[in-house]
């Protein structure tokens, strides 16, 4: 059964949701599923913006055929050449041999790498400022390099004021029948997935997101059409403000997260004591996570949300407990900034993990690493009460 929706005059959503895929990019768990959005423009010329992932190919191609209703496809615009959106290019070309593929210079370089036969396709190369008129609609192209691949283009429809924003403004999460953000309670249904998507997929490229947000300020945008998740037609400022915050590495909440690693429960017990002490001192909404249990992508999303981050782990092979080291490496790769870190180290004979974490975290931009490291010798005891008090006082006062 086809599943398409007209979302603006002459523009149809023809995407599909996947609830079976275990991990996006074979990395990120997606228990909430994911949607792959594609858009069809029904005008004097027929146009498709991006295809979809191979996992939803059958549904996608059925949708495409249904909106075309026997007509030929004039243009396939490729805003992003990552395979979750470009996997069906060869199929579309086979179905509509006369189609002209529209993209930037880098788009076609990548296309040839993924699909060598594409060298012989009809192509229209565009760059920032170029326009594609299809009848009523005129799409102008905006370069969005490294958001989050180098070839990415946005397209702005001067007729409907819709911005086709590629991966930007996307979220994890399948669509439950509605395609618009205002059909959902976005904060309840999508915000945590949107934050996790942003932080992990786009988070490294804050400067590039800032550059494209500045370009977008010059456009009269009434709708945002991303390649994942719901479409924005109301309260767009809410989500662009969120992107502004996320892309400048500003925290959303002044609250504290405590992330611990623990082999046998002793550091876990200390983490619970730290959280309780913080609550007693008025820290408010404190969250505690086990770094071995919670997928790192969720922890990264929490790092994006909160200002103060407590990391507690054992010393392992004279180094940092490996799952904690993985989290710190991910934070460094994603260029986390503007945060306060408090550190605790455990070691039965030579606790050094706190010192080693401090060295790594101090290299991040605009971060404060509190000097007061909580040292646990095997287990935290009541005799450590003074040390614990000093540790949580420093976090409260930071
Ligand atoms: Fe949704 Fe960068 O692909």
Residues 131-167 pLDDT 10s: 999 999 999 999 999 999 999 999 999 999 999 999 9
- What pLDDT sits at residue 39? 98
Q: Is 233 in the pocket of ligand 1 (CB under 6 A)?
A: no
- Cα of 167 from ligand 1 centre, angstroms: 5
Same domain, 39 and 104: yes
pLDDT for residue 398: 97
Whether residue 80 is found in the same domain as residue 204: yes
297 near 29, Cβ under 8 Å? yes
Name the CA radius of gyration of the chain, rounded.
Answer: 24
* pLDDT number for residue 126: 98
The mean per-residue pLDDT over the stretch 204-209 comes to 96
The share of the chain scoring above pLDDT 70, in percent, equals 100
Confidence of residue 257 (pLDDT cuts 50, 70, 90): very high
CATH at 331: 3.40.50.360
Beta-bridged to residue 28, according to DSSP, are: 24
pLDDT value of position 24: 98
Q: Is 167 in the pocket of ligand 1 (CB under 6 A)?
A: yes
> What is the mean pLDDT of the segment spanning 252-261?
96
Ligand 1, atom nearest to 201 Cα: 2
- Which residue has a Cα nearest atom 3 of ligand 1? 82
Name the phi and psi angles at 75, rounded to 5: -130, 140
Decide: 85 in ligand 1 pocket, CB within 6 A: yes
Distance from the CA of 15 to the center of ligand 1, in angstroms?
Answer: 14
> What pLDDT score does 40 carry?
98
Q: What confidence tens digit (pLDDT) does each residue in 263-293 have?
A: 999 999 999 999 999 999 999 999 999 999 9
Cite the DSSP H helix spans in 79-227: 83-86, 89-95, 105-114, 186-189, 191-197, 206-216
Q: How far is the C-alpha of 396 from the C-alpha of 376, rounded, in Å?
A: 20
Residue 35: which H helix or E strand, with range? strand 34-36
Q: Which of 247, 274, 302 is the last residue of a domain?
A: 247
Tell me, using a 6 A CB cutoff, whether residue 200 lines ligand 1: no
Closest ligand 1 atom to residue 152 Cα is 2
Residues 40 and 182 in one domain: yes
Q: Do the strands 75-77 and 46-49 form a parallel or antiparallel pair, or are they unpaired?
A: parallel
Q: CA–CA separation, 219 vs 289, rounded Å?
A: 42
Predicted pLDDT of residue 36: 98
What is the CA angle 385-390-394, rounded to 5?
145
Nearest ligand 1 atom, CA 83: 3
Q: Which residues make Cβ contacts (< 8 Å) with residue 227, sequence separation at least 6?
A: 36, 37, 38, 50, 79, 80, 84, 85, 165, 166, 167, 170
Q: Say whether both 361 and 300 belong to one domain.
A: yes
Last residue of a domain, one of 210, 232, 247: 247
Q: Same structural domain for residues 186 and 274?
A: no
Whole-number mean pLDDT of the chain?
A: 97
CA-wise closest residue to 24 among 171, 223, 232: 171
- Distance, in Å, from the CA atom of 28 to the CA atom of 51, rounded to the nearest integer, reads 21
Which residues span the domain enclosing 320? 253-397
C-beta 84 within 6 A of ligand 1: yes
Output the CA 82–ligand 1 centroid distance in Å: 6
d(CA 169, CA 49): 16
**Cβ-contact 284, 307 below 8 angstroms:** no
Average pLDDT over residues 101-119: 98
pLDDT at 292: 98
Q: How far apart are CA 162 and CA 11, in angstroms?
A: 10
At 176 the pLDDT is: 98
Tell me which of 217, 247, 277 is where a domain ends.
Answer: 247
- Residue 40 in contact with residue 47, Cβ under 8 Å? yes
Indicate if ligand 1 lies below 6 Å from the C-beta of 87: no
Distance 116 CA to ligand 1 centre (A): 21
Cβ of 228 less than 6 Å from ligand 1: yes
Q: Are both 98 and 214 inside the same structural domain?
A: yes
Q: Do residue 48 and residue 143 come from a single domain?
A: yes
CB of residue 227 inside a 6 A radius of ligand 1: yes
Range 314-342 average pLDDT: 98
Show the CA angle centred on residue 276, arms to residues 274 and 277, nearest 5°: 65
Compute the Cα dihedral for 38, 95, 46, 213 and give only its sign. positive
The two tokens of residue 43 are 């005008």
Cα–Cα distance for residue pair 214/334, rounded to 1 Å: 21
Helix (H) or strand (E) holding 142: strand 138-143
Tally the domains of the chain.
Answer: 2
Average pLDDT of 228-246?
97
Verify that 241 and 260 share a domain, yes or no. no
Can you give the pLDDT at residue 327? 98
Instruction: Please tell me whether residues 39 and 130 are part of one structural domain.
Output: yes
The answer, yes or no, to whether any atom of ligand 1 lies below 6 A from the CB of 168, is no
């Amino acid at each position: 059964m086809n599943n398409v929706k007209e979302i603006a005059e002459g523009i149809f959503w023809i995407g599909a949701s996947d609830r079976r895929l275990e991990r996006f990019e074979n990395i990120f768990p997606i228990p909430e599923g994911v949607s792959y959005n594609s858009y069809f423009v029904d005008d004097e010329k027929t146009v498709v913006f991006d295809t979809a992932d191979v996992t939803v190919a059958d549904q996608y191609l059925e949708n495409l055929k249904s909106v075309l209703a026997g007509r030929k496809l004039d243009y396939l615009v490729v805003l992003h050449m990552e395979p979750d959106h470009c996997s069906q290019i060869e199929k579309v070309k086979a179905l509509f041999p006369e189609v002209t593929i529209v993209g930037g210079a880098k788009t076609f370089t990548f296309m040839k790498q993924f699909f060598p036969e594409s060298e012989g396709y009809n192509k229209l190369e565009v760059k920032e400022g170029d326009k594609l008129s299809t009848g009523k609609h005129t799409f102008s192209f905006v370069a969005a390099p490294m958001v989050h691949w180098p070839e990415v283009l946005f397209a702005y429809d001067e007729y409907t004021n819709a911005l086709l924003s590629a991966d930007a403004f996307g979220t994890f999460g399948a669509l439950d029948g509605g395609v618009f953000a205002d059909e959902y309670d976005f904060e309840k249904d999508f915000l945590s997935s949107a934050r996790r998507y942003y932080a992990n997929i786009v988070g490294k490229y804050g400067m590039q997101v800032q550059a494209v947000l500045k370009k977008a300020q010059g456009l009269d945008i009434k709708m945002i059409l991303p390649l994942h998740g719901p479409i924005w037609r109301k309260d767009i400022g809410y989500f662009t403000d969120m992107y502004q915050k996320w892309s400048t590495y500003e925290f959303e909440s002044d609250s504290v997260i405590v992330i611990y690693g623990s082999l046998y429960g002793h550091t876990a017990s200390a983490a619970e004591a730290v959280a309780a002490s913080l609550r007693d001192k008025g820290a408010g909404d404190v969250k505690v996570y086990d770094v071995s249990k919670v997928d790192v992508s969720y922890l990264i999303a929490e790092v994006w949300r909160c200002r103060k981050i407590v990391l507690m782990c054992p010393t392992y092979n004279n180094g940092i407990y490996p799952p904690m080291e993985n989290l710190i490496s991910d934070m460094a790769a994603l260029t986390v900034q503007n945060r306060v870190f408090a550190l605790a180290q455990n070691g039965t004979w030579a606790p050094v993990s706190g010192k080693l974490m401090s060295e790594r975290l101090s290299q991040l931009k605009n971060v404060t690493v509190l000097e007061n490291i909580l040292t646990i010798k095997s287990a935290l005891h009541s005799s450590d009460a003074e040390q614990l008090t000093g540790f949580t006082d420093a976090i409260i006062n930071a």
